[in-house]
Amino acid sequence: NAGVTQTPKFQVLKTGQSMTLQCAQDMNHNSMYWYRQDPGMGLRLIYYSASEGTTDKGEVPNGYNVSRLNKREFSLRLESAAPSQTSVYFCASSEAAGALRYEQYFGPGTRLTVT
């Protein structure tokens, strides 16, 4: 039982390049999330998927797109990377959006640097 896995762990991009961050969970959770964490800012929600087939914007969606490929996988795409997107990206999942328990389980993160 791996929980939430993310790839890659580290990435350096040049301004304007694109890339996709991958996330998968094996806990049969319905809901998945992408966050970014910057020093002094705390975790901020980029996009989330309450259930398979749905995605919604979070607090900071500009510059990102997501795909909920199936129940297990939720990817985050940067179409044209900018230095402001340098951050640590965390994927998370939770049991069910409408359940009483909302605790989220996080992947190990992707450290992205855009030069």
Partner 1 sequence: RKEVEQDPGPFNVPEGATVAFNCTYSNSASQSFFWYRQDCRKEPKLLMSVYSSGNEDGRFTAQLNRASQYISLLIRDSKLSDSATYLCVVNKNSGAGSYQLTFGKGTKLSVIP
Q: Which residues bind partner 1 (CB under 8 A)?
A: 31, 33, 40-43, 45, 48, 50, 56, 58, 90, 97-98, 100-109
Pick between residue 17 and residue 51 the one whose CB is nearest to partner 1: 51
93 backbone dihedrals φ, ψ, rounded to 5°: -140, 155
Pick between residue 2 and residue 100 the one whose CB is nearest to partner 1: 100
Pick between residue 1 and residue 14 the one whose CB is nearest to partner 1: 1
Torsion of CA 33, 37, 109, 55, to 10 degrees: 20
**C-beta of 96: minimal distance to partner 1 in Å?**
9
Q: Does residue 15 come out as left (phi exceeding 0), alpha (psi in the -120 to 50 range) or beta?
A: beta
**C-beta of 54: minimal distance to partner 1 in Å?**
8
**C-beta of 68: minimal distance to partner 1 in Å?**
13
83 backbone dihedrals φ, ψ, rounded to 5°: -55, -30
**C-beta of 41: minimal distance to partner 1 in Å?**
7
| Residue 87: how many other CB atoms lie within 10 Å | 21
Pick between residue 85 and residue 110 the one whose CB is nearest to partner 1: 110
> What one-character-per-residue DSSP string does 67-78 give?
EE-SSSBEEEEE
